[in-house]
Chain A
Amino acid sequence: MQHKLERILPKVQKPARYTGGEYNQVLKDSSKVDLRFALCFPDTYEIGMSNLGLKILYGVLNNMSGVWCERVFAPWGDMEEEMRKNSIPLYALESGDELREFDIIGFSIGYEMAYTNVLNMLDLSNIPLRSAERGEDFPLIIAGGTCAFNPEPLADFIDVFLLGEGEDLLPELVSLVHDMKGSDRLSLLKAAAKLEGVYIPTLYDVEYNDDGTVKSIVPHDGAPAVVTKRIVQDFENSYFPTETIVPSTEIVHDRTVLELFRGCIRGCRFCQAGYVYRPVRSRSAEKLRELGVSALKNSGYQEIGLSSLSTSDYRGLRELCDGLLDWCEPRNVSLSLPSLRADNFSMEIMERVQKVRKSGLTFAPEAGSQRLRNVINKNVTEEDILNTCRTAFEGGRNSVKLYFMLGLPTETDEDVLAIAELAYKIVRLWKDCAKNRAGGLRITLSTACFVPKPMTPFQWEAQVTAEEYMRRVKLLCDSMRSRAISYNWHDAETSIIEAVLSRGDRRLGRVLEEVQKTGGRMESWSEYFSFERWASAFEKYGLNPAFYANRERSRDEVLPWCHLTAGVTEDFLWSEREAAYRGEITPDCRVQCTGCGANLLYKGGGCDD
């Protein structure tokens, strides 16, 4: 196969992403390992290699003796075409061996638009898509990641889903597969279902009502009625990769990454990550400095980025930044801080970190009016934003990026117009206090169509239709005439499909299969996305996307994911939804524990200590 590959690589763009061989890749002798694991990321090399979860799992698995974990990414269109033309099956980067030779194929799925890539990667490996069509000789196909919290559209294709964090659970499953080599698949699945956090879709029968809603989800063969996600209990001392693969070609986040904490204290009601990654657990600044320096030394990277859902909420941020800067500055290593809040403390930290380069400011107020920000529990005020802008303008910065969502629950035209008003306030503020006027002010304002996600307080909400989203886009567009503001809006079509898949049921499996068969892949890339392809697949199977996207669910409806939980109770989510409709904010976890339920997952005491 290496021979065939050599002939096609000169014909494709950026061939280095298909070769492996990077510094720190793990090579083992395949004849001497007991179990081979293909860790698959259903998007390009550049995106996948930037994913911290993948680096963690690669390290965890390769630290197991007798196990060899290799990486697999989705090929870009030109490469896929050449591979199919020359009968080259999808292969793992380290060994170049095709996926059918592996014991376990594991997908990390972070977004719904990657579903067709999962199917396409199986197809490229000459592996039947449906679990039912795979014999005992085929590898076990497993999946995890954020999408596992409602994996129902993929239920026909994946043998095992892992809910929550994989550091402990994945090795447990791999050991089980190793110990049960030789026994039949059903026995293995039944045994796996006993591990906490494992969901085996074939061990559940789903029935539907006449109106298309789910009637019941009934486990059999000893599978648990409710599968609860797993978390890492001792986050401080849990595995963190400091010997990471250094790609030989440029990737999206080409730097060392340091994970400060998991979970988020904020509770923005639209944010799935904010609910499904609870409870909050952090690492000490001392530990993080040690891990960061070690990862930098080992990789040779000259940039380190801090990663978490809300960097400003890390208690030891100042201490950590000082500690890292002491090491980084003399060595020309830069420190980057994403996800900072718009407050004075964060600005001060940012000024300290970015001593030379004056980068722009980025805010995600998500909604234009304070009323709607209260509805979604986004705790940022106009005053915060304007104060931060003032400091920035006085310091010579001249560009601001603003991100909003349109179609949030209870949104009115007044809320939409408030987005323009906020932008104009920033324009006026700049005129009053800008120090450096030469280049002029640049405000880049973007809107996306809100996608209600499972396991959030908005999981029962209807998404606005594409027409309504575009009406609001036009309303906003017509109300902004300043040359300083440039407005970009995301198309609604991708958001509709995302909304369908994120709260979909098992009947969507046929749609996914049809979309893949008719050429659907890389659907998160606009050059590949085709709404028409999805529309005709829905039609073929008599399913209506509006049923999934634009329909409000009642409290007593059986949701397709009701047998899975991230620890946060449904009662809590519903009470948050009611608070949203009353326009009431819920204080963050540090002000007061809200009793969401995720704290019960944490056996080591209260969260966020």
Chain B
Amino acid sequence: MIKYRIVFEKKGRAKYISHLDLMRTFQRAFQRAGVKVRHTEGFNPRARISIAHPLPLGMESRCEILDFEALEPLDESLVSRLNAVMPEGIVIRELRENTRKASEIAWKRYNLRLIYDTGVPQGAAEAIARLFSSGNVVIRKKTKRGEADFNISPCINSLNVAQDGNDELLLDLVASAQSPSLNPMLIVDAIGKYLPEISPDFTRCVRVEMLDEELKPF
């Protein structure tokens, strides 16, 4: 039994595949590729695979990680074998032996693209940068027991704002991955609350990188 980890991208139409459906998709892809994966015991044996940080529906990623145990040794050829049998938009980047615990992921980097159909409002980039440097950005967040106030500032390691063309702002965000983990779309919620006049018409979000405690690539 060898523990492996694969790093994959999830992009395009595949960003609408939910976490549970993605697990099923990988289970079948492993079957198609003829990879012998350790299964659960019981009446309905399933492949024992885990995806450490479930990606919110509708978000793209360049750095997803999936852990599994193989019943026989694997090599780099697995990457092309799997890519030949994946649905559109899921692309395996590399195969590693799983030697680091996924719990070492402390930060995640995201790129948010804020889209303004009628052009980026004057001073929007500066206003957003100012808001998030204030150290106190509180939003209402749904919890298991109704709603609660949540200060997202401690969850933000860095946030850089730049304008891209006439209609888009590009936010480069490093956000906490645990206790608590920050859903980057809450940044957009906060803009809507504090700066309603520069709330974007649509936002695209890509998870770019998983980082450890020292902000080094995981």
Closest residue of A by beta carbon distance from B25: A248
Closest residue of A by beta carbon distance from B14: A21
Interface centre among A15, A297, A298 (most CB of B within 10 A): A15
Closest residue of A by beta carbon distance from B204: A6
Top 8 nearest A-B pairs (CB, nearest first) are: A300-B28, A300-B31, A21-B13, A21-B88, A300-B32, A19-B13, A15-B16, A23-B87
User: Interface readout for A346-389 with B: 1 if CB under 8 Å, 0 if not?
Assistant: 00000000001100000000000000000000000000000000
Known: A25-B88, A250-B24. 6 other contacts (CB 8 A): A7-B202, A16-B16, A16-B18, A21-B14, A23-B25, A23-B87
User: Interface readout for A301-321 with B: 1 if CB under 8 Å, 0 if not?
Assistant: 110000000000000000000
The answer to whether residues A248 and B17 also contact, given A21-B12, A23-B85, A299-B28 and a CB cut-off of 8 A, is: yes
Q: Within the assembled complex, what's the spacing in Å between the Cα atoms of A15 and B13?
A: 10
B27 is an interface residue with CB less than 8 A from chain A: yes
Are B57 and A15 in touch, CB under 8 angstroms?
Answer: yes
Name the A residues within 8 Å of B22 (CB-CB): 248
A60 is an interface residue with CB less than 8 A from chain B: no
Are A246 and B43 in touch, CB under 8 angstroms?
Answer: no
- 21 residue pairs A–B, Cβ–Cβ below 8 Å: A6-B202, A14-B18, A16-B21, A19-B13, A19-B16, A21-B87, A21-B89, A23-B28, A23-B86, A23-B87, A246-B87, A248-B21, A248-B25, A250-B21, A297-B32, A298-B32, A299-B28, A300-B32, A331-B31, A332-B45, A357-B44
Interface centre among B13, B44, B57, B86 (most CB of A within 10 A): B13
A10 is an interface residue with CB less than 8 A from chain B: yes
Name the B residues within 8 Å of A298 (CB-CB): 32
Are A332 and B88 in touch, CB under 8 angstroms?
Answer: no
Name the B residues within 8 Å of A123 (CB-CB): none
Q: Within the assembled complex, what's the spacing in Å between the Cα atoms of A300 and B85?
A: 10
Are A248 and B32 in touch, CB under 8 angstroms?
Answer: no
* CB of B49, distance to nearest CB on chain A (Å): 13
Closest residue of B by beta carbon distance from A19: B13
By the criterion of a CB under 8 Å from any partner CB, how many residues of chain B are at the interface?
29
A20 is an interface residue with CB less than 8 A from chain B: yes
Closest residue of B by beta carbon distance from A332: B45
Name the A residues within 8 Å of B39 (CB-CB): 332
Determine which of B17, B28, B30, B85 lies in contact with A249 in the assembled complex, contact meaning CB atoms within 8 Å.
B17
* CB of B168, distance to nearest CB on chain A (Å): 13
Q: Within the assembled complex, what's the spacing in Å between the Cα atoms of A167 and B202?
A: 45
Name the B residues within 8 Å of A418 (CB-CB): none
The answer to whether residues A246 and B45 also contact, given A16-B17, A19-B16, A23-B86 and a CB cut-off of 8 A, is: no
Name the A residues within 8 Å of B161 (CB-CB): none
User: Interface readout for A11-41 with B: 1 if CB under 8 Å, 0 if not?
Assistant: 0001110111111010000000000000000
Closest residue of A by beta carbon distance from B86: A23
Q: Within the assembled complex, what's the spacing in Å between the Cα atoms of A302 and B25?
A: 12
A9 is an interface residue with CB less than 8 A from chain B: yes
Q: Which of B1-19 contact A (CB under 8 A)?
A: 12-14, 16-18
Closest residue of A by beta carbon distance from B32: A300
Closest residue of B by beta carbon distance from A25: B88
Name the A residues within 8 Å of B18 (CB-CB): 14, 16, 249
* CB of B18, distance to nearest CB on chain A (Å): 7
Determine which of A10, A25, A248, A301 lies in contact with B14 in the assembled complex, contact meaning CB atoms within 8 Å.
A248
User: Interface readout for A525-569 with B: 1 if CB under 8 Å, 0 if not?
Assistant: 000000000000000000000000000000000000000000000
Listed in ascending order, the chain A residues whose CB lies under 8 Å from chain B are: 6-7, 9-10, 14-16, 18-23, 25, 246, 248-250, 297-302, 331-332, 356-357
Name the A residues within 8 Å of B31 (CB-CB): 300-302, 331
Closest residue of B by beta carbon distance from A354: B43
Are B87 and A248 in touch, CB under 8 angstroms?
Answer: yes
Are A300 and B29 in touch, CB under 8 angstroms?
Answer: yes
Are A299 and B58 in touch, CB under 8 angstroms?
Answer: no
Q: Within the assembled complex, what's the spacing in Å between the Cα atoms of A356 and B86?
A: 31
Q: Within the assembled complex, what's the spacing in Å between the Cα atoms of A19 and B24?
A: 17
Interface centre among A297, A299, A331, A332 (most CB of B within 10 A): A332
Name the B residues within 8 Å of A22 (CB-CB): 87-88
Name the A residues within 8 Å of B12 (CB-CB): 21
Name the A residues within 8 Å of B30 (CB-CB): 300
Q: Within the assembled complex, what's the spacing in Å between the Cα atoms of A564 and B88?
A: 44
Q: Within the assembled complex, what's the spacing in Å between the Cα atoms of A423 and B124?
A: 72
The answer to whether residues A299 and B32 also contact, given A21-B12, A21-B87 and a CB cut-off of 8 A, is: yes
Determine which of A10, A246, A297, A332 lies in contact with B57 in the assembled complex, contact meaning CB atoms within 8 Å.
A10
Name the B residues within 8 Å of A299 (CB-CB): 28, 32
Closest residue of B by beta carbon distance from A250: B21
Closest residue of B by beta carbon distance from A358: B43
User: Interface readout for B32-63 with A: 1 if CB under 8 Å, 0 if not?
Assistant: 10000001000111000000000001100000
Name the B residues within 8 Å of A301 (CB-CB): 28, 31
Name the A residues within 8 Å of B87 (CB-CB): 21-23, 246, 248
Q: Within the assembled complex, what's the spacing in Å between the Cα atoms of A300 and B29?
A: 6
Closest residue of A by beta carbon distance from B17: A248
Q: Within the assembled complex, what's the spacing in Å between the Cα atoms of A16 and B58?
A: 10
Q: Within the assembled complex, what's the spacing in Å between the Cα atoms of A80 and B29?
A: 32
* CB of B174, distance to nearest CB on chain A (Å): 24
Interface centre among B16, B24, B27, B29 (most CB of A within 10 A): B16
* CB of A84, distance to nearest CB on chain B (Å): 19
The answer to whether residues A9 and B16 also contact, given A22-B87, A300-B27, A332-B45 and a CB cut-off of 8 A, is: yes
* CB of B206, distance to nearest CB on chain A (Å): 13
Are B58 and A10 in touch, CB under 8 angstroms?
Answer: yes
Q: Within the assembled complex, what's the spacing in Å between the Cα atoms of A248 and B18?
A: 9
User: Interface readout for B162-174 with A: 1 if CB under 8 Å, 0 if not?
Assistant: 0000000000000
Name the B residues within 8 Å of A249 (CB-CB): 17-18, 21
Name the B residues within 8 Å of A356 (CB-CB): 43
Name the B residues within 8 Å of A7 (CB-CB): 202
Are B58 and A15 in touch, CB under 8 angstroms?
Answer: yes
Q: Within the assembled complex, what's the spacing in Å between the Cα atoms of A9 and B16?
A: 8
The answer to whether residues A357 and B43 also contact, given A16-B21, A297-B32 and a CB cut-off of 8 A, is: yes
Q: Within the assembled complex, what's the spacing in Å between the Cα atoms of A298 and B32?
A: 6
User: Interface readout for B60-86 with A: 1 if CB under 8 Å, 0 if not?
Assistant: 000000000000000000000000011
Q: Within the assembled complex, what's the spacing in Å between the Cα atoms of A23 and B89?
A: 10
Q: Within the assembled complex, what's the spacing in Å between the Cα atoms of A18 and B29?
A: 21
Name the B residues within 8 Å of A20 (CB-CB): 13, 88
* CB of B215, distance to nearest CB on chain A (Å): 30
Q: Within the assembled complex, what's the spacing in Å between the Cα atoms of A23 and B202?
A: 29
Q: Within the assembled complex, what's the spacing in Å between the Cα atoms of A14 and B17?
A: 9
Name the A residues within 8 Å of B32 (CB-CB): 23, 297-300
Name the A residues within 8 Å of B204 (CB-CB): 6
Q: Which of B124-146 contact A (CB under 8 A)?
A: none
* CB of B125, distance to nearest CB on chain A (Å): 23
Interface centre among B18, B22, B29 (most CB of A within 10 A): B18
Closest residue of A by beta carbon distance from B89: A21
Q: Within the assembled complex, what's the spacing in Å between the Cα atoms of A65 and B22?
A: 33
Closest residue of A by beta carbon distance from B87: A23
Name the B residues within 8 Å of A357 (CB-CB): 43-44
Are A246 and B28 in touch, CB under 8 angstroms?
Answer: yes
* CB of A79, distance to nearest CB on chain B (Å): 12
